[in-house]
Amino acid sequence: MKLKGGCVHHDNGLLGSAAFDRAEERKIQLLKQNGFNAVRTSHNPMSESFMSACDRLGMLVIDEAFDQWKIKKNPEDYHLYFNEWSARDIRSLVLRDRNHPSVIMWSIGNEIRERISDNGLKIAEDLKKEILKHDNTRPVTAGVNKYWDKDRKNMLSLEKAFRHLDVAGYNYMWRFYEEDHAKYPERIMYSSESVANEASQNWDKVEKLPYVIGDFIWTAIDYLGESGLGNSIEVDPEENVHQFMGWPWFNGWCGDIDLLGVKKSSILLS
């Protein structure tokens, strides 16, 4: 089965971060109605209501634990607690969710800053070992993105980032599938994040390449945070096209489905 996936955040739009049972169920119903058969949780454990809805309604889940390890992305994020809590938290996640039939993979991180370092290699190994103590029936994965040199001219090898993964999650790197397959023919790949205006290219690769098992759009449903990420306002082509926006922007606006549950026009998404 090919994974027609979407990345999904924990919030429920105007209801905020509370996990109302019906809101979580409706979220999965909307995804099913719009052609999704899989979700990647972004980037933290979801509510029990969400997981139960996935079981009942038949939605496959990549169950993701962390958005950072020891190196911070923001001053007050999980890096402050990683040393003390990461082993206990990954254990708690696996023990809670291992009997959910919807779970198909455990994800140990997303775009981790130290992903190609020796320290990152050791952390990935330790997290995987902790998972396998409690569940050895599912593969381990992570969402991995490019890593540039300090001048942002050359992309550095991601071999260490992928070494301990059973299934390799590629964030925005569909162009490298065939090149990497030639180097690592045993590697199973999928697009752990992709943008809407590259959906056709991503899915063409999924259908063409037997070692690529799916694509997860960023994002399936709009979310609170990263305000204006998906805006379509013209910017200087020399700049990054993904520009965060100030007030009155309050959500990401990059979802296939908006905060009210309405499917957006494909024109808006491209």
Q: Enumerate the active-site residues.
A: 111, 193
Side chain identity at 232, as an amino acid letter?
Answer: S
| CA-derived radius of gyration, the chain | 18
φ/ψ bin of 207: left (φ > 0), alpha (ψ from -120 to 50), beta (otherwise): alpha
User: Helix 118-134 to helix 82-97 angle, to the nearest 10 degrees?
Assistant: 30
Exposed/middle/buried for 236, CB within 10 Å: 0-12, 13-18, 19+?
exposed
Helices (H), 80-176: 82-97, 118-134, 159-162
Assign 6 to helix, strand or coil. Answer: strand
Shortest CA distance to 214 belongs to which of 225, 199, 224? 199
Instruction: Give the whole-angstrom CA distance, residue 131 versus residue 169.
Output: 18
DSSP assignment letter at 157: P
Instruction: Give the whole-angstrom CA distance, residue 27 versus residue 230.
Output: 20
